[in-house]
A and B are shown apart, each in its own frame.
Chain A
């Protein structure tokens, strides 16, 4: 096999994602037109502000950091066939832990140590929050989709209660933790206005890539996600792997929370909930669960949300518009993978198991059955 088709084969799945993105933008444009807004002007402003201003560029890069970290974790979970819907809750707990740890250590110890301690606290927070659904899943077989989702609500309430009382900064009225002074927050990457959280994000993505390409654990997680029964048959520690996948994604979500506290916000506020979870799902699927492709898509979604915010106010378009675009992208992606299957050079008969089968024993991965392949399409991978 020559190099050329191989490279093409590597990029082909991305075309589907790009098509989905373009289609979503078109649909979004139609929506704007129906609402009486000029879609061309709106997208022109989105691109010119998001890409053409240094504020737009550096804000996008700052927003990228937590998305990268969260998505790196989500890839681990989804490739192992574990549906961690609880990213947002794990992130909140992590952020709160980091806020409390950071602010109480700030000024007491050298900043790098404080950052490490706060990051560790964030990781532990996310980990603990993922541990509950993890144990419920491996001990009693409770479906993690439901438990992680419920844990989100618990997290929102627990954190808002905590910042109203036990960990509240007594010197101010609103419910929030004590502020980490600006000069003690994460430093900027030299020559930019972007804090080093971005590098942490990139590192996380690279480590996850290495995990799946080169380690036994990554290999086993992949097998588990694609065919659970085969993992059992091969003697893999299925329960431990499931737990590992959930904990890893929880830990990274917690780290992302710490990143925002240490790099941007400086404190944990009672009503703060950035909701990165959904964006992470969208971009992880657009990247076809291939961790390196997360980087461009994370940038793109960050750009969309920053550019969207920047265009929304002057044009009087609700900021939800960007959320809607993300949702449309996922929808278009699901449809596009279906078409992709029809066009596959290996025939539509090939059914691959994706993480769509999480929780249940997976269906047959059988070349000879085409029927029923449309369902669970979203999990299809190259």
Chain B
């Protein structure tokens, strides 16, 4: 009995966690190149999802069109955030960047409320296949699609970073921005494109989340910022792999906590784990010596 619950919770957690992992990947990319926190990341995703929802409600747009709107919308809003909150500031004005991104958070949320004033709005479901039965375990088909999409995107991002010329440039900027400039990489352009890429990945995450819920609430911006942040921190702030691990861990943890302790305690457990990790083991899950530099950067932010 309990074993089945544990297994089922773990499965559910991995599914939900895959969306956290996507959020954390975007966050990690932005943090990596900017060394600054983008609090408007969640609201950027919200903007994309709300535009897609509006298209769905107003014109009944088909799901692939909505997907495109969400991703492009998030990328464009991401560009706007980069322009206003990050581009104008040097690394020295980190706090200013962060507070400016918070200001845009407020702005984007209010604009979204004007677009769709209701707290809850319908979103087209990903698919309406019945759940799969594997022995005693139940698996929602759309959750499986979400997990598969996450793995695909994570794989694509990893490949892109490791094997392409532009991926090399991103890693160089993350690793040693001054040296990146010296070898002839356009650091500002790399930062901007990474920002847009990360926002698009966030848009994908937002789409998958909204489509598996078949609805969107006004909380999605705040939700994405906090979940993405926690997953990124749990993963140790250093790498795409860490972000994925952090996201999945957060999902599994929440699923168990929800089942055994209820929804309120669920959120507390995630924050509690983060607090304990930071206070006693600040390297995070992927903590290692190789991360010392990232840590040093994180400390200064």
Physical interaction between A and B:
no
B interface residues, Cβ below 8 angstroms from A = none
A interface residues, Cβ below 8 angstroms from B = none
